[in-house]
Amino acid sequence: MGFTGLPGLPGSDEDPGVGQVVDTLVDRLLADVVPPGTPRAAAGALVAHRHHLSAWYGDLIGPLRVPTSAVPGLMEALQPRDHALRVTLVVDPTGPASDAGSEVAPSWAATQVAAARAVMLDDDRIEIAGVELPLPVSLPPATAARAALSALDLSVPAWFVVPAVPEWLEALDVLAVDGAENVALHLPPGTDLVQAGHVLRHVVDRQLACAVTAGEVRPVSGEDGLGLVNALCAVRAALNGAEAEQVAGILAEQRPEPLLSAARRMSDADAAVVRAFLPVMTCPAVRPLVEDLELMGLIAPDAA
């Protein structure tokens, strides 16, 4: 027996359709990654990032995610020809900021980011596109959000990492009222997508932009993690008024047909609104994802 489209997702159909998605849906979507580690690791990641930017799919590449500990190695690896490389500073997963019982986490994290930012400020080879900061998860959600906001003293966009569970919805409310506007959701393999769908629906309701980190990214969700097209379609559905359970179902969907049909049917206007709410998705392995998207016909060299 055949199947129909996914509930709550406009344009979803059992026929995947043909053709590329509009550029607006994927431009600057993929955040490349510098892994924490030695200066050599930072230098290698920067070489790969330059290659991605100069390739036919360069328009898909967003900011380079840089852990604060990798900043010295990155700065050493810069070359004179580099100009305005967009980076997002990310607090390292070590130290007080990673301690669930630490109430000094927000100030510690803000200090780390400020120190890294100071190293980069006067270098026109770097453009700081934003910073990503954790919330102290030992505190009540609303209190944790207020603590993170009060510790922050930066003039660049900040992305606050909010646990993707319904218990943390109050933190989203605080961030929305403050006007912070940006949150980061980490959805690695094993994430409860029913809960994540509930949180994503709330993110959209509160007019918050959401950066997604999900481990190894593929076009469509599978056992190894969340799919890129799933995330875009889930935001599209949430904007269209889908219920939290429907958003969760779209995040978890492993059949490509209803997702590809919906993605292909998004107009430039549709895509622009989706991307306002999902401006970036972390992708630690860019080239394999690009090859998969090209194989599915969603992107092509002559359209990049």
Output the pLDDT for position 94.
55
Q: Whole-prediction pTM value? A: 0.91
Model pLDDT for residues 205-237, shown as the tens digit of each residue: 999 999 999 888 999 998 888 999 999 999 999
pLDDT in tens, 110-157: 778 778 888 887 889 999 988 898 888 888 999 999 988 887 776 778
Residue 119 CB burial class (10 angstroms; 0-12, 13-18, ≥19) = middle
Give residue 3's pLDDT band: very low, low, confident or very high (50, 70, 90): low
Q: Where are the domains of the chain?
A: 23-303
For the chain, what is the total number of helices (H) and then of strands (E)? 12, 8
Q: Does 63 or 105 have the greater pLDDT score? A: 63
Class of domain 23-303: alpha beta
| Cα 264 to Cα 148: distance, rounded to the nearest angstrom | 39
Q: What percent of the chain has pLDDT over 90?
A: 64
Q: Say whether pLDDT at 304 is over 80.
A: no
Q: Could you tell me which residues are beta bridge partners of residue 209? A: 182
Q: Is the pLDDT of residue 95 over 60?
A: no
Report which secondary-structure segment, H or E, holds 262.
helix 256-264
195: left (phi over 0), alpha (psi -120 to 50) or beta: alpha
- What is the full DSSP assignment across 125-146? TEEEEEEEEE--TTS-HHHHHH
